[in-house]
Amino acid sequence: MLICGPVFPHEVVGFSGGNKYFFPGIAGEEIIHITHWLGALITSYEMIGAKDSPVRTIIDRAASMIPVERYALCSVISDQGINGLFIGSPENAFSEAADLSASVHIRWVDRTYQSVLSVLPEMYDEIWTGAKGMYKVEPVISDGGEIIIYAPHIKEFSSVHGKVIQEIGYHVRDYFVNQWDKFSKYPWGILAHSTHLRGTGTYKNGIEKPRIQVTLATGISESMCNSVNLNYLNPDSIKLDEWKDREKAGILFVPKAGEYLYRLKKN
């Protein structure tokens, strides 16, 4: 069995690549839901950009049960091209590639930002995948700050999972955990996606308090955004040039959102 694929920071398992292309890459629903929900319990905030994690342990354990030899070609790719290619066992090739990815795909900043505008490329055609514009900047958004996902071309939450998303909405992890009898029947991978986009926060005495606000400036209507617990902003009201080069004012502009993970230096 030969794995051929890139390694970069990932919200569920820490870094993509290696045995992840087997589990859950081409695996069945059960392990998909278990790994994604475990990552959500730990939170994307903590998981993304972590090479060693409980989720990676599960994936490697599952892959050890494949009864044939396994090898991997793990690449690290950026705008500059191929930064590195590691060949060997999936575990070793992944480990070396993840070390390089950490230096290539993570941008360290000195401060947090009150407002972040994530401009999604058109390769993300729904919120299901476009939520990476949130995950990868969440660590540098100030408490009480706002992330605006700008993608006028996106018209839906998910072509496959949209119905379930509209039933459960987007909520912090504890909203689901503290009402588990109500939500455990839903696919755990979709619950995980919900918490990943909504970010960290609390749910106590029936009151949900997200750490940050999440606003969509997309082709999804205001009523649809509000119905799933997200804010709405008319994308036509946004002039991209007005967001650029305003870091000193606490405003971060992220072109090609989802490509790099932003981290705070002191962490």
Domains and CATH numbers, the chain: 2-104 (3.40.50.11440), 109-264 (3.90.226.30)
Buried b (16+ CB within 10 A) or exposed e, 88-121: eebeebbbbbbbbbbebbbeeeeebbebbbbbbe
128, HSE (Cβ side, Cα atoms, 13 Å): 17
Looking at residue 115, its pLDDT comes to 98
Separation of alpha carbons 220 and 238, rounded Å: 15
| Rg over CA atoms, the chain | 18
* pLDDT tens digit sequence for 227-238: 999 999 999 999
* pLDDT tens digit sequence for 32-80: 999 999 999 999 999 999 999 999 999 999 999 999 999 999 999 998 8
Rounded average pLDDT over 132-145: 97
* pLDDT tens digit sequence for 165-189: 999 999 999 999 999 999 999 999 9
Instruction: Report the share of the chain in percent with pLDDT over 90.
Output: 98
- Label residue 91 by pLDDT band (50, 70, 90): very high
Looking at residue 266, its pLDDT comes to 79
Looking at residue 267, its pLDDT comes to 61
Looking at residue 22, its pLDDT comes to 96
